[in-house]
Structure 1
């Protein structure tokens, strides 16, 4: 570890060996194992899922706590700041690819799979099927083989539109908090951050109510054919990302209240804002493609 001078911030900081990466991976293993078994109707799957999730969250809490102590201890210099920026950039890029795969699945189903099922080649296999997305038009069936229960589709009014307003507003309040921090107005930054966190919680509450409405009144479920599966995969994973982003902003807010971050050194804050704005952009794509189209 080089230093740029006596008692100065290290030129580059190399942390000691840590158990956290393997422990976090173990927690995610139980999460994926439990989720895969839960969705296949094995009762023990949900217990495995929540056990792994709790394990993973506890490991992240300890890991981030150590990173915060290192940062506040003056170990992180310019090179570490660059490393974090590149790491966050590549992480968000991987998230773009993640959601891109689900958007592509939705496009493929609408532009290729459904039209192929209604083509002349399949007319003998699936007589009477009309290739109209999402196969619920007059005279159409919910699925060619008739194995999907009838369901209703969901439009943009009013819950998705309310959630769009909530997320866009949260992006504005987060930006105002960032400007306040850069101007060394900590109290204003904390106030705007709390508003942003509350807006994120409000979004999740509205989405939870929307899911309840879809399941109980529209009979729209994960099992509702390709429409239901793509709808819940896209909106559900986005909701999970909102939850993670909200937790990030919550912890950043608590750190602000403790006096962490300065006008010139606050990448922890910036990284959380990058992630939140990414979540906003993904929702705008969902709002247009899933709810309007």
Structure 2
């Protein structure tokens, strides 16, 4: 067991990375298994049990409508993590593609146009972009022809587009170095086509920093989703979200009903800490230069 624990800890870059992995896995289990794990219906109104303090019957208490706060926190994990995860997938698809092209064809017009455009977008903070774009496109469901796009998917797509510059710059930095490596020059002398070199040689060596950055962007996505939902532009009530739960709880900050804000706020903080610890652990595990520097100090 001790050998297994050491090996598991080393795979996640040390004890802090392993702790982050445990937190993240726990959140994923709660998000996926919410229908079976949550003790009550998160939307069920129970006027008799309004504003119940945390206790044996309601471990996290109840809100102003008598809804179980624990069940709403568990279901809120599904909304927050799904929005962040879909956004990261979209950001990786666009950012890695653009970063690879700009880095591989460094010095040409492809690099100049791509990177200057992405730098202009990245000059404005992501949260400001998110609030502005959600305000422009509106909240609630949007109908595009026969397709119906909910507020969660809409927010995920907007965040994914905003993640593209960050992931593109990370990919570009590595791809620019790898494209000048001797093995790439040798592949060119062999007559290998550029697309094949990009996909089979350059891309695998760019994935490590992209994976680490994506993990950190998941934490940022959770915060942004909560922030946008807090101001009423994200996940719409009565669907539980950590952000709109905090928005409802702000009216009771001075009345002594502390559990309404403490539990969703603590869950957001714990989620961000977990993803950041996991990202730091993966960086230590996947980046040999960082590991060498740590050993030297």
- TM-score normalized by structure 1? 0.30
* TM-score (structure 2 length as normaliser): 0.29
